[in-house]
Structure 1
Amino acid sequence: MIIDKIDTFGGHRDCVYALEQGLQSNQVFSAGADGLVVRWQLDRPDLGELVAKIPASIYSLALHPESGLLWVGQNYEGLHLIDTIRKQEVNSLKLTSAAIFDIKFYRHEAIIALSDGVVAIVDAEQLAVKKHLKTSDQSARCVAVNPVEREMAVGYSDHSVRIFDLTTYALKRTIPAHTNSVFTVVYSPDFRFLLTAGRDAHLKVWDVENGYALHREIVAHMFAINHLTYNAEGTLFATASMDKSIKIWDAETYKLLKVVDRARHAGHGTSVNKLLWTNYDNQLLSASDDRTVSVWKVS
């Protein structure tokens, strides 16, 4: 496996926390603590352009597939819906005074993970709150949707992962998954496994069809694992850590294939917060506390 650093996107004035695919395969969005939402062209890396300025930290971005609007989760205020072509805010919802850590869509609903432990279910068309799921007093950090089993997994700061029914939103099971906060939950592309990771630096794999039994546990990083993501083919996945490194793994065997860090690849100098594996030329993007977004070619 060869990893080449193609580019570094600079321009953010603070830590970068969020990455999201754009309307076209060669476009991506980034956002972070400076409140700036920036669109980048992967084929024209010098063409970063400001799409929106939000007056607080942004931890989450999600492009709504039907409307094409970019949902921006603002720390301590609510949701902002941005028309990225006109660069205008077209709607907003003062959802909460809590931080918004994750936004995922399922059918006509948005599932929103909040720092007060609530998971809010919002009608994505009417922009109206339908339900509050409150099963913990500690932060809901991350959400993954499994349309095959009609379930969703939510990772919490109380060290657990909770599985909810996607139709009724009833709590189906609580998994005492980790020894510290869970920062990332992702279903495998075939939805047979759930991968979870967080502050304890362990990567855990759960067998969905076998009642979420523990399938594999890997001491994957030195410090907290902030995010993980699969490539488009589902053959590889990558983890990003507070230990400043990105690691690339075989999705079938869970074997470590590559470590991307500062010493070997001129990687990030501080915590790597978010990853986005694009369809565009198999490019992997990483966002960091060092205020930059790095672009990697994996071949």
Structure 2
Amino acid sequence: MKVEVQKLHTLTGHRDCVYTLARSAQSHVVFSGAGDGMVVRWDLNTPDTGELVAKLPNSIYALHYHPIQNCLVAAHNYDGIHVLDGENKKELGSLQLTKAAIFDLQAYDRDLLVATGDGTVMKVDLATLVIKGQVQASTQSARTIAVNAVRGEVAVGYSDNSIRVFDGDSLALKHEWVAHNNSVFTLRYSPDGNHLISGSRDARFKVWEATHGYGQAGEVVAHLFAINHIDFSPDGKHFVTCSMDKSIKVWDWEALKLLKVIDRSRHAGHGTSVNKLVWTNHHSQLLSASDDRTISVWNIKFEQQPL
């Protein structure tokens, strides 16, 4: 498999580290959130300028577009969440939740799941802005959430090196295990929901069998430093990892085989930690956000090599 990588655009305007990216209802529109408290809307058809959606007083570690409620939610660190109309650039509501950092937001059915720095996972009714339930399974940070809609399960990665899987409706604990030698920073279910992939501060990713009690099905020493995020390609055949080591790596999902390294020396990649990835349906363009205050847009082509 030959992989060609082309850097299409560099999106600039944030004044601090870009921590997070979020999809939208339109494949060509992506949102970003940063340490400067700004939420910015980017149109990949006209990527030169972003539009300011909101300016919050504290840094934003997490953003999430809720498809059912058709709204964008920004996590306002040490405070709570802000519900935004990303198209019309206005606030729809807010809810004070925590004095801790908020590390991840994910939709579950009509609700929103929130992972916080004090180890709490909350379920919020976005329509009424009421907390419907919460669980604190650790005193250390809940860093990442992955939702398995097929199985009705929610996996959460923690700074105590563990992964815990909860029932999505009741938040009852179903599975719990020490998964890595350091904090679990990112989780993703495979597109078919049969596997969970975890990335850690220990620079490894591991694969777990969601259909067989979350037994381990694979492990790769993938980066030099922490793996910050994982995302799958639109067709589900590949996935990407990004790291504090400044690189993005492209993998074959079935074989867990490294196909390409995207970095500064080879592809004019990022100069500092790469924090977040979104592999869009817009011409399969990949976006990466970094501590260097920029967002890069990549074109990745896969060509089958002749036998």
State the Cα deviation string for residues 96-153 of structure 1 (Å, max 9, x = none).
1111111111112111100010001111211100111011000000000111211110
What is the one-letter code of the residue matched to 1:3?
A: V
Instruction: Report the counterpart of residue 247 of structure 1 in structure 2.
Output: 249
Per the TM alignment, residue 66 of structure 1 is displaced from its structure 2 partner at its CA by: 2.4
- C-alpha distance in 2 between matches for 1:271 and 1:244: 5
- C-alpha distance in 2 between matches for 1:28 and 1:200: 29
Instruction: Report the counterpart of residue 40 of structure 2 in structure 1.
Output: 38
- C-alpha distance in 2 between matches for 1:155 and 1:56: 24
> Within the alignment, does 1:162 sit opposite 2:164 as a pair?
yes
Secondary structure class of the residue paired with 1:263: helix
Contact in 1 for aligned 2:158/2:184 (Cα 8 Å)? yes
What is the one-letter code of the residue matched to 2:20?
A: A
What is the one-letter code of the residue matched to 2:56?
A: I
Q: Which runs of 5+ in 2 are unaligned?
A: 302-307
Q: Kindly tell me the number of residue pairs found equivalent between the two proteins.
A: 299
Please identify, of 21-30 and 31-40, the stretch whose mean Cα deviation from structure 2 is larger.
Answer: 21-30
- C-alpha distance in 2 between matches for 1:132 and 1:192: 26
Per the TM alignment, residue 271 of structure 1 is displaced from its structure 2 partner at its CA by: 0.2
1:83 aligned to which of 78, 85, 92: 85
- C-alpha distance in 2 between matches for 1:137 and 1:196: 20
Q: How does 1:155-234 map onto structure 2 within 5 Å?
A: 155-234=157-236
Q: Which runs of 5+ in 1 are unaligned?
A: none
- C-alpha distance in 1 between matches for 2:122 and 2:169: 14
- C-alpha distance in 1 between matches for 2:189 and 2:69: 25
Instruction: Report the counterpart of residue 286 of structure 2 in structure 1.
Output: 284
- C-alpha distance in 2 between matches for 1:86 and 1:168: 34
Please identify, of 21-30 and 128-137, the stretch whose mean Cα deviation from structure 2 is larger.
Answer: 21-30
Q: How does 1:1-299 map onto structure 2 within 5 Å?
A: 1-299=3-301
Per the TM alignment, residue 67 of structure 1 is displaced from its structure 2 partner at its CA by: 2.9
Contact in 1 for aligned 2:103/2:144 (Cα 8 Å)? yes
- C-alpha distance in 1 between matches for 2:182 and 2:148: 24
Please identify, of 80-89 and 130-139, the stretch whose mean Cα deviation from structure 2 is larger.
Answer: 80-89
What is the one-letter code of the residue matched to 2:185?
A: F
What is the one-letter code of the residue matched to 1:98?
A: A
Please identify, of 37-46 and 81-90, the stretch whose mean Cα deviation from structure 2 is larger.
Answer: 81-90
Per the TM alignment, residue 199 of structure 1 is displaced from its structure 2 partner at its CA by: 0.4
- C-alpha distance in 2 between matches for 1:287 and 1:273: 6
State the Cα deviation string for residues 160-211 of structure 1 (Å, max 9, x = none).
0001111221101112100110000100001111000110001100011121
Contact in 1 for aligned 2:209/2:217 (Cα 8 Å)? yes
- C-alpha distance in 1 between matches for 2:266 and 2:28: 27
What is the one-letter code of the residue matched to 1:97?
A: K
What is the one-letter code of the residue matched to 2:97?
A: L
- C-alpha distance in 2 between matches for 1:237 and 1:4: 17
Q: CA RMSD in A?
A: 0.8
- C-alpha distance in 2 between matches for 1:134 and 1:85: 35
Contact in 1 for aligned 2:68/2:110 (Cα 8 Å)? no
What is the one-letter code of the residue matched to 1:90?
A: L
State the Cα deviation string for residues 206-255 of structure 1 (Å, max 9, x = none).
01112111100100000000000001110110000000000000011110
Please identify, of 135-144 and 119-128, the stretch whose mean Cα deviation from structure 2 is larger.
Answer: 119-128
Dislocated runs of 4+, deviation >4 Å: none
Contact in 1 for aligned 2:134/2:171 (Cα 8 Å)? no
Give the TM-score, by structure 2 length. 0.96
Secondary structure class of the residue paired with 1:97: coil
What is the one-letter code of the residue matched to 2:62?
A: S
What is the one-letter code of the residue matched to 2:90?
A: Q
